[in-house]
């Protein structure tokens, strides 16, 4: 193990905790990461990284599941009141809170990139003494927004890496890129950064997560079981009519949504792997005695591969359209999020595996795990990197959790952040050894 | 009461019974009335009526619910073996068993027309001693075909009228038309005769039925509660696939039909009157472990008015198309039958009422009855006659029934035929009094 | 025409307008009529009527569609702040704002009763200058509550009758009952008053409505086309589960509701008259990627007769239960409202007709009208009165409307109130002539 | 390689072809294998095997998907006319055509058992010159029954093994059991033999199949991808009614089946492995204008494991029951077939692998293959053998096919039978070496 690195990270630990607790306290949901992003930019700028911000790293049209303009404005104002830095805020205004920080060592070498995400969940944090963030005073002060998936930790890890790389710049060659992504929840943000080209020059790519059921002390070097997914908002628009007096004048949007719902669940299974379909939300109608003129559905499809998800997605489009036709109503579909399935590249997994074996805190290092792990839009970045021949992986650092992800009492052991910084930093520091056998 | 008429009909009674029992024994379903039609034509020709036959009185393209060419050929051969007259058979070959017989008195006067139907039902007659047609030896000898709706009686009444009018020709003026229609069951035949123009010159039109729950001795002078209807055969065509090995390769026609079925029943009620929808038959799939590539439905819509039926029909088309779209299958719709709603003209109902009061056997004479009476394609003729200012009605002669219509043990009291002949003949004989008060 | 009556009502007109505008301004929705009821009670008490209040005239268990205890408490507090009289408020607390005022003349004679309703609709009144109540300053000050169906006028008519009868008490015999009912909207309140016995002694019963599309100057003496109805709230309770990770652990309440919805619309038509079914509202699920553990539906059934509505209602219960069974979820059904169909008694309609012909302002008097008129829970009172041999009717006074009922810009011509008071008072004043021909 | 064995089998080849072609010509579908079974019994008896027949080896109550008594009787008569031996027929009468032939060597040793199946498919064989069985005169002479899955070959292999073991009896120790099973198609017969105890004493069990897409010359030693399955026949019974005149009197069995169909396809996916659901056949209703009083569905469930299939099966029961409840109809469910998933035991797969490597005709020997292979009821036998600690596997001998399984032009290369006999015989001959390394 690299001793200077260990000491550096050890010294950094209090700062890591401070950052994380600040981000946790001012939790900001997807596309609302205004305060977080200004603080991140400030620190990176202070360290001397070259910054690309906002529209430079986010393709406006490729953003999915964007909140309304009003909501964005309100939240920007809220961020301002909570200490967002005016210096950086204009870059992120309107749903553009993405940052890419680049450290060009001036020495020849490949581009190695790390991706962390910054958004919280739409959830109220539990305000009870048995919940550590509340007890220690850093529970979310933003109603309906909570870091219950550890992205506050991820952002912190990104900043920790920035400090470490700057300190050890002399030992590095090539280029380091730190990617801070908004709106990973709902798999909404990564595609817009990919479309802006942020990983087009990347040779080695690693996305990071903590927790997710992996035991403390364990590293998963190449999580490969993300399902491809599509998130759809469907709105049916019909014609209202008095259900007693003039039923024949109505065009029943609620009935169309109900028929669509059963049709969606009835989409065929696929012989080549897992598939999923869900209508998580259905809201239709205004009054008991009125033929409903509007119904709204939140739908998602998944597939073990991109092809399987595409199969389910295309079938879903047919079902949604057919149900509209059946009941004479109009419909809109909005793509609110999407992610791909993506396998890590084995050489990079092997390399990470070897590096991790040098980290004392990691008592178990594995390549993959059996359990399916939901969906992740870092897969868009992985696929892009792989498409031009780069190496890519998705790593998970195990940690103790106080409650499961997306739970109102979620919390993690903060020591995992230092372990992650140390391990991830070593990937860049030892990169010249990539390709040689352990 | 016209005494010569009464005596004439009384003398005719044994012949009426003989005709009816012969038609009953050789029951022929819709578009298969080959033998019946040749015997009818022979008698009318013998009496000296001017005949229009087959394609002269039936518009080929307006026929609905036609059986296959093979079935038509087989049944024609069957008819030949059962005594159909070769002299007339070519006229009716291929599903054209319609006849219009005209008696032009040479004296000025209006055209008065009667419509009777000739077809049997697709039903096996009950062959048991407690069923009179079996006991007396005239039960149907044709498997799957039975006169269970009294059309054998209607055809007989038509021939009885032909005899009477010829005998009393000297008392008549104007023109008499006797219309013998095929394929009333399923409301398939009348439209094709209307499209051939057979009622275009008719001033007074009367369609005839016996039974239908009207008590013996009662005449309904203007049955007005027929619902408009459309009969659809729907076929979905998908793609078969092994349900275990390759479910994703199938396009499930059976599932489309199932969703269409629930969608069809869910068509809105109409505030302006009764409507009906039924999927009477659904057949889909070939094997348990195969995604069904074909499903077939027999559907019918009804409405208290033509507009209501049209509403249901259009909604049904949407549902059928939408369900196909939902599950990626193709579909065909064939219109197998149709009828309209049609109100009798009141002056003609009043006139019939007055004439009927002179008939001793009719102990009750009513204008209409409350009960809905299904559908009837004579309504096409009534609407056409009314469209050029003519008078039209639909009369029902009550009689005892051994079992309900469309039942395998249906039978009626044969005396009703003489009553009908007498009453209907009197309409023409006394026509000069139409318009004067009773 | 009774001249003293005309003069009396003429003098009363400014007071009628004042009452109506006060009630309109402080519109109170069903079961929240706290302020209105205390003012009504105060006036009736002042006039010397014998009062029965709250639980005396409302059977607690027979109330339907009651709001939550919290909402009732909040609204009571709101009423208090808006001038509800503490003297009467305790009687009405908790959803008991019903009043029966009795005038016993001391002279022998029958019991004649009038029913008016007091509740507003859950609607925001349009606050625009072209809307007279806003322009003249009496638009509703209660958010989400608006008199958009004229019940403010009905309550006023009831008070007008109270004044008139007291003034002309010497000319009356028998007993007068004035019934002030809560929660007619949603057909929730009448049954609870019937179950408390308030019409058990009534010989002549008249319910009153204004507007509903009847032209100004016209009286409908016996509106008879109310459909029987049932209002159901249905809640499905399943088990939530992550739709990607553990779909098999969910019990999908939303899917059950969707299948119930299509099943409900597919309930058979009824041959004996109109029927209706509607799922006006469906709300299910919490998040896109969660199997929904809860779904809620607002359903209503209707039938041209009580038997037809009962048929639809029983079928609906089967569908709701079956859908729960299909998807392994639990369900609750709450009956939120109900009304019956009820025909007026013809002698009473004839009598009202004769009296109305003496009222100069009524330029048209008709017995009934063809158009279906939705549902009304006064039918419960009518049926009860008829069940013990009493006479009952439902009258509608035509008036100009600024917009249709239940519209945010609804308003009526206030002169209709005086016409109604005059006409309805004459029914009692001339009651001894009931039974004699005009 | 065992030379005497090779020579023996070589000599046997013409007999194998003769047997196979005779069985093919007189193809008998599941539970109808009367002629086949008598010929098999005759040969085994002639060779001196101890026979257990019919009810001795088939538990009557555990048979699934049994045809009607009439059909069984007709087919028995057909078999008699096609040369079934009267000597053995009574044993098999009524759907009991199962045989277990035992060779007890008298020397100590384990029990080794082989299972072959004897039934044909419900299919018409293609009678065209390009189809070898037709060209060479042994195409099926039984309409609607065809050996299109190779069970004629399996039965022949069983007889071939019987000859070989008898010839080489001196080299064997322990006990040999040959199991001839009826009704494998539809997975209907194996369970009844297991319930009769036929594998309760078996130490080494091998089931045999030919073809199934495995290349010629290849042996799959341990096919492990059978899905557990359940086959259900569902009948809904409602009440018929005239759809126009009395829709409310019907109880719509067709509508219940349609709702069940969409509900069945909507059964949740399972996170632990593949699942399947199919409604392969739906037949409902009798006439277009009749509310259907009967509907029939052929349903099947599958799961990658017994637990997953059980999950789908239980959900299906709920859906079927719930749909009946929704529409007020009765229902019956008949279990027509079932199979389990079952993994071969690795030591036995290894042993088979080693033996197979000695067979010259086998150019490729593999343990398993990726592709899912449908369902097989030999899994019941495997599970039973494993439950008492025995070794079990399922082997597949590759061969050229003229068309896919279950195709009307299916045929295989008859040489595969000799290869199978040789390989399978060697398992018993070399059994003492089981457990030693190759």
C373 pLDDT above the threshold of 60 = no
Structure tokens at C176: 């007068």
Nearest CA in chain A to D270: A274
Residue A407 banded pLDDT, cuts 50, 70, 90: confident
Q: Which residue has the tokens 């709101």?
A: C78
**CB contacts < 8 A (A, C):** 148
- Residue B433 has what DSSP assignment? G
**In terms of Cα–Cα distance, which of B117, B115, B119, B116 is closest to B140?**
B119
Q: What is the pLDDT of residues D324-344, one digit of tens each?
A: 999 999 999 999 999 999 999
Structure tokens at B261: 């079925």
Residues of C in contact with D328 (CB under 8 A): 315, 318
What whole-number distance in Å separates Cα of residue D292 and Cα of residue D312? Answer: 28
Q: Give the residue-averaged pLDDT of A147-156.
A: 97
B309 pLDDT above the threshold of 90 = yes
List A residues 282-301 in contact with B (Cβ-Cβ < 8 A): 291
Q: Give the residue-averaged pLDDT of A207-222.
A: 95
Quick check: D148 contacting B, CB < 8 Å? Answer: no
Q: Say which of D242, D255, D279 has its CB closest to residue B261.
A: D255
CB D373 within 8 A of CB D223: yes
Phi/psi of residue D289, nearest 5 degrees: -105, 25
What whole-number distance in Å separates Cα of residue B75 and Cα of residue B95? Answer: 10
Phi/psi of residue D314, nearest 5 degrees: -65, -40
Residues of A in contact with C283 (CB under 8 A): 282-284
Burial of A387 (C-beta count, 10 Å sphere; 0-12/13-18/19+): exposed
What whole-number distance in Å separates Cα of residue C27 and Cα of residue C33? Answer: 8
Q: Residue A275 has what pLDDT?
A: 96
CB A308 within 8 A of CB A275: yes
Binding-site residues from annotation of B for Mn(2+):
149, 151, 185, 209, 406
Helix then strand then coil, in percent of chain B rounded to 5, is: 40, 20, 40
For chain A, give the percent of residues with pLDDT over 70.
Answer: 98
D185 is in an annotated binding site: yes
Instruction: Identify the residue among C251, C256, C263, C322 best suited for mutation to test binding to D, counting D beta carbons within 10 A and taking the highest.
Output: C322
Phi/psi of residue B57, nearest 5 degrees: -120, 0
What whole-number distance in Å separates Cα of residue C258 and Cα of residue C263? Answer: 9
Q: Residue A372 has what pLDDT?
A: 63
Nearest CA in chain D to B297: D288
Q: Do A323 and B322 touch (CB under 8 A)?
A: yes
Instruction: Name beta bridge partners: B218.
Output: B364
Q: Do C266 and B271 touch (CB under 8 A)?
A: no
3-state secondary structure of A65: coil
Q: What is the pLDDT of residues B195-217, one digit of tens each?
A: 999 999 999 999 999 998 899 99
- Residue B221 has what DSSP assignment? S
Cβ-Cβ contacts under 8 Å for A410 (sequence gap 6 or more): A146, A147, A148, A149, A150, A401, A402, A403, A404
Q: What angle do CA A242, A245, A248 make, to 5 degrees?
A: 75
List A residues 191-230 in contact with C (Cβ-Cβ < 8 A): 227, 229
Which ranges of D82-150 would DSSP assign to H, the alpha helix?
89-92, 132-135
Quick check: C275 contacting B, CB < 8 Å? Answer: yes
Q: Residue B371 has what pLDDT?
A: 66
Structure tokens at A152: 């506050």
Q: Residue A286 has what pLDDT?
A: 87
**N-terminal to C-terminal alpha carbon distance within chain A:** 14
What whole-number distance in Å separates Cα of residue B176 and Cα of residue B155? Answer: 16
What whole-number distance in Å separates Cα of residue D435 and Cα of residue D241? Answer: 70
Q: Residue C372 has what pLDDT?
A: 62
Q: Which residue has the tokens 């419960």?
A: C380
CB D415 within 8 A of CB D156: no
Q: Residue D373 has what pLDDT?
A: 55
CB A285 within 8 A of CB A254: yes
Q: Residue A225 has what pLDDT?
A: 82
Structure tokens at C405: 């009922």
Quick check: C236 contacting D, CB < 8 Å? Answer: no
3-state SS string for D327-395: HCCEEEEEEEEEECCCCCCHHHHHHHHHHHCCCCCCCEEECCCCCCCCCCCHHHHHHHHHHCCCEEEEE
Q: Give the residue-averaged pLDDT of D143-163.
A: 97
Q: Residue A438 has what pLDDT?
A: 46
Q: Which residue has the tokens 């709106």?
A: A183
Q: Residue D241 has what pLDDT?
A: 87
Q: What is the pLDDT of residues B340-393, one digit of tens each?
A: 999 999 999 999 999 999 999 999 999 998 666 578 999 999 999 999 999 999
Neighbours of D307 (CB within 10 A): 14
Residue D371 banded pLDDT, cuts 50, 70, 90: low
What whole-number distance in Å separates Cα of residue D220 and Cα of residue D206? Answer: 12
**CB contacts < 8 A (C, D):** 78
Structure tokens at A183: 């709106």
Structure tokens at A145: 């927004």
**N-terminal to C-terminal alpha carbon distance within chain D:** 14
CB D305 within 8 A of CB D224: no
Q: Give the residue-averaged pLDDT of B163-183.
A: 97
- Alpha-carbon distance values, D10 to B252, C389, D161, D396 (Å): 49, 103, 13, 21
**Domains in chain B, CATH or no CATH each:** 4-226+342-433 (3.40.630.10), 228-339 (3.30.70.360)
Q: Give the residue-averaged pLDDT of C142-158.
A: 96
Task: Name chain C's partners: 3 or more CB pairs within 8 A.
Answer: A, B, D
- Alpha-carbon distance values, A424 to A207, A408, A420, B228, C375 (Å): 10, 29, 6, 77, 71
Q: Residue C241 has what pLDDT?
A: 87
- Alpha-carbon distance values, A284 to A154, A279, A318, B263, C123 (Å): 38, 13, 21, 18, 18
Q: Residue B286 has what pLDDT?
A: 87
Predicted TM-score (pTM) of this structure: 0.90
Residue A213 banded pLDDT, cuts 50, 70, 90: confident
Asked which of C115-129, C270-284, D113-127, D364-378 is least confident by mean pLDDT, the reply is: D364-378
Structure tokens at A110: 């490949």
What whole-number distance in Å separates Cα of residue C333 and Cα of residue C310? Answer: 16
Quick check: D272 contacting A, CB < 8 Å? Answer: no
- Alpha-carbon distance values, D435 to D348, D352, D432 (Å): 9, 11, 8
What whole-number distance in Å separates Cα of residue D134 and Cα of residue D127? Answer: 6
What whole-number distance in Å separates Cα of residue C319 and Cα of residue C314? Answer: 9
Please state the separation of Cα B391 from the chain's center in Å.
20
CA distance B260 to chain D (A): 9
Quick check: B270 contacting C, CB < 8 Å? Answer: no
D162 pLDDT above the threshold of 50 = yes
B421 CB-side CA count, 13 A: 30
CB D402 within 8 A of CB D258: no
Select the more confidently predicted residue: D436 or C6: C6
Q: Give the residue-averaged pLDDT of D30-35.
A: 98
Residue D1 banded pLDDT, cuts 50, 70, 90: very low
3-state secondary structure of D87: coil
Q: Residue B404 has what pLDDT?
A: 85
User: Mean pLDDT, chain D, as a whole number?
Assistant: 95
For chain C, give the percent of residues with pLDDT over 70.
Answer: 98
**In terms of Cα–Cα distance, which of D87, D85, D60, D71 is closest to D32?**
D71
Structure tokens at B416: 């009703």
Q: Do B323 and A322 touch (CB under 8 A)?
A: yes
Cβ-Cβ contacts under 8 Å for A158 (sequence gap 6 or more): A40, A114, A116, A178, A180
Structure tokens at A82: 């909570």
Structure tokens at C51: 């009062």
**N-terminal to C-terminal alpha carbon distance within chain B:** 14
Which ranges of D187-284 would DSSP assign to H, the alpha helix?
190-195, 253-265
For chain B, give the percent of residues with pLDDT over 90.
Answer: 91
CB B54 within 8 A of CB B100: no
CB D65 within 8 A of CB D231: yes
CB A154 within 8 A of CB A209: yes
Residue D438 banded pLDDT, cuts 50, 70, 90: very low
B1 pLDDT above the threshold of 50 = no
């Amino acid at each position: 193990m690299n001793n200077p690195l260990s000491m550096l990270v050890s010294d950094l630990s209090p700062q890591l905790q401070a950052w994380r607790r600040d981000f946790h306290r001012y939790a900001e949901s997807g596309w609302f990461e205004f305060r977080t992003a200004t603080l991140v930019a400030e620190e990176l700028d202070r360290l001397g990284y070259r910054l690309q911000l906002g529209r430079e790293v986010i393709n406006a049209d490729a953003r999915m599941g964007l909140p309304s303009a009003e909501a964005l404005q309100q939240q920007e104002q809220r961020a301002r009141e909570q200490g967002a830095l005016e210096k950086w805020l204009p870059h992120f205004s309107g749903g553009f809170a993405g940052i890419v920080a680049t450290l060009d060592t001036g020495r020849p070498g490949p581009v190695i990139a790390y991706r962390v995400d910054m958004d919280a969940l739409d959830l109220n944090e539990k305000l009870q003494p048995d919940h550590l963030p509340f007890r220690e005073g850093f529970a979310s002060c933003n109603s309906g927004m909570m870091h219950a998936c550890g992205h506050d930790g991820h952002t912190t890890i990104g900043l920790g890496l920035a400090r470490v790389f700057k300190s050890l710049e002399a030992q590095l060659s090539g280029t380091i890129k730190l990617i801070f992504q908004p709106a990973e929840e709902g798999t909404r943000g990564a595609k817009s950064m990919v479309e802006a080209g942020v990983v087009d020059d990347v040779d080695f790519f690693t996305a990071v997560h903590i927790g997710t059921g992996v035991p403390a002390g364990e590293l998963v070097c190449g999580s490969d079981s993300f399902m491809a997914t599509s998130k759809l908002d469907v709105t049916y628009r019909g014609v209202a009519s008095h259900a007693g007096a003039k039923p024949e004048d109505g065009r029943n949007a609620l009935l169309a949504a109900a028929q669509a719902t059963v049709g969606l669940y009835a989409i065929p299974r696929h012989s080549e792997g897992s598939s999923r379909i869900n209508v998580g939300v259905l809201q239709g109608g205004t009054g008991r005695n009125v033929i409903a003129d509007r119904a709204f559905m939140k739908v998602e499809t998944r597939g073990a591969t991109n092809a399987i998800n595409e199969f389910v997605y295309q079938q879903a489009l047919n079902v949604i359209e057919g149900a509209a036709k059946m009941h004479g109503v109009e419909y809109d579909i909005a793509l609110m999020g999407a992610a791909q399935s993506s396998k890590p590249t084995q050489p990079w997994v092997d390399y990470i595996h070897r590096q991790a074996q040098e980290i004392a805190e990691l008592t178990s290092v594995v390549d993959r795990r059996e359990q399916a792990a939901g969906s992740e839009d870092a897969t868009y970045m992985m696929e892009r990197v792989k498409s031009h021949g780069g190496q890519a992986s998705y790593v998970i650092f195990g940690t103790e959790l106080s409650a499961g992800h997306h739970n109102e009492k979620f919390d993690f052991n903060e020591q995992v952040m230092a372990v992650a910084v140390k391990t991830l930093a070593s990937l860049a520091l030892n990169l010249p050894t990539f390709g040689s056998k352990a």
